[in-house]
Amino acid sequence: MKVLLLAGGLGTRISEETHLKPKPMIEIGGKPILWHIMKMYSHYGFNEFTVLLGYKGYVVKEFFANYFLHQSDVTVDLAENNITFHNNKSEPWKITLLDTGMHSMTGGRVLRARDYVGEEPFMLTYGDGVSDVNIKALVEYHNSHSGCITMTSVQPDGRFGSLIMDGDRISQFMEKPKGDGGWINGGFFVCDPKVFEYLEGDSTIFERAPLEKMAEDKELFAFKHSGFWKPMDTLRDKNQLEEMWANKTAKWKTW
């Protein structure tokens, strides 16, 4: 099953980094967050990826074009003009880097990948969020129901800490509890090819009319994930993920 990765947006809320590179190429622990997401899928045996590029897509292309070189020891023979690679540590990935347009919306980017997906189910997620979701269990759940798409649903942390009060006296402070109990779109979709029928063109926003219509048609199912999930929307999010990685508390590192 192929994995589609949305990696073409402008990332304006983390412009401190994205003026130089696309958001999925912002590094956590010395590797792009896109690499971390791919490692998550690869851990469950999914190694064929289509990266949906847009803004500064050449940065992603150059990273993977040189990946084998950077993961190897090399001997450079200048007289013979050849390079010998040793001890390569690359993953067994097959990666299609697909230019889906500078200004395409999420649904438009997915639609442009139709010829690369064919008539088989595929997975889809955003190139800026990590999780410890069990991908194998997600796929099994998708195969168990009649809908054409499964969305991983999550409960994000609240924005602010909360106070536990005893009258006017503060008895306890809770740091960032879960939100109000509502479930939101956490990405990590499993899709049947029928999903393409809900996409009209480059201006289609996947999260609006297509998902709304699939829900109306009773095609959209939720895979509830109560574990770790975190998007990288801001520089603060990036710093938090970096700290988790440095402290060896990165819950998304399942490999």
Structural domains in the chain, CATH included, are: 2-246 (3.90.550.10)
| pLDDT tens column, 27-70 | 999 999 999 999 999 999 999 999 999 999 999 999 999 999 99
Q: Would you say the pTM of this structure is higher than 0.95? A: no
d(CA 130, CA 235): 15
Mean pLDDT taken over the chain: 93
Q: Residue 121: CB partners within 8 Å, gap ≥ 6?
A: 1, 142, 190, 191, 192, 193
Helical residues (DSSP H) of the chain, grouped into ranges:
15-18, 33-43, 57-65, 67-70, 106-112, 114-117, 135-144, 209-216, 235-246
CB 177, CB 88: distance < 8 Å:
no
- For residue 5, the cross-strand partners are 51, 125
For residue 212, pLDDT beyond 80: yes
Token output for 228: 């770790």
CB 26, CB 17: distance < 8 Å:
yes
